[in-house]
Structure 1
Amino acid sequence: LVFLTAEQKRQREEEIVKTEQQATELQGKYFGPEGELFDRRSKMIKPLQDEIWQAIKEIASQSGFQLVLDRSTAGIVFANPSIDISDQVLEKLGYGRMR
């Protein structure tokens, strides 16, 4: 058995904590929300997303669609600005035009 003095034990604990902090920082650098993986993924996906958005916009305009929904999320993908009544609601509430 090896017995450590209180000072040696404290030093080892500090080393462990420091190593854990470094590992966490490194993990964040590569895999966190502002990490390299997220950045690279965003740069690769953005052109495809832009292309899809443009296709949706063109089809919606050509077909006279006012609204395009995403079935997978039930979210709105495209909405014709002419059907947006936000300004009218704000005006009715007495806030006037906000844009």
Structure 2
Amino acid sequence: MKKFKLFSALFILFTGLLSAQKLGVVDTNYILSKLPQYKDAEDRLNAQIASWQTEIQTLQSEFDKKKLLLENERVLLVGDQLKQRQKEVDDLDKKIKTMINNRFGSLGEINNARSNLTKPFQDQIWNAIKTVSEKNSLGIILDKSNNISVIFLEKRYDYTDKVLDLLLKNSGSKKAESPNRPNRNSEDSREIKAKMMKEEGTTKMESIESKKAK
């Protein structure tokens, strides 16, 4: 009961603080996606991922052929011939597994590259958000991208476009879209589709690993 009362008191206090402050919301993921420099870096990374996927798929096809050929000719091979052919298949199998782990594993090159992709832009976005918050006398700014579920948001509380415009102005870039920009909430389905496409590569790698495990 005491814990419940304490929680209720803290909730009321937090609600009071929010009501006393001018609130703003930004979507940093949307901002990143509209920065030309970030999009260029992401395109280069996606091109590299596609190249790695093709390379692994080529090696996988080569492995499947060699393994099938070995099984078909196993009764005809003896001694060192059998050992050599088996070693070739095993070495290729090991090479593919190592490549998948190094590039697509939880600590692989792709995850590291994605985590480092936003770092050069973090200070720029933070400084732009700070400038916009000071200009509009905002006491609290929430990031819609940071695990905050915003069911409904009045446009006057959304400062994403103001932050983006400031960043593009400072970088000398043109606005990412026309003045009549579509509501970002209407882009949710396209964002989900894009996310699924990015994850498709990982799914393919998992499929290869599953097939090899069998």
Query: TM-score by structure 2 length?
Result: 0.26
Structure having the higher Rg? 1
Answer 1 or 2: which has greater helix percent: 2
Q: TM-score, normalised by structure 1?
A: 0.44
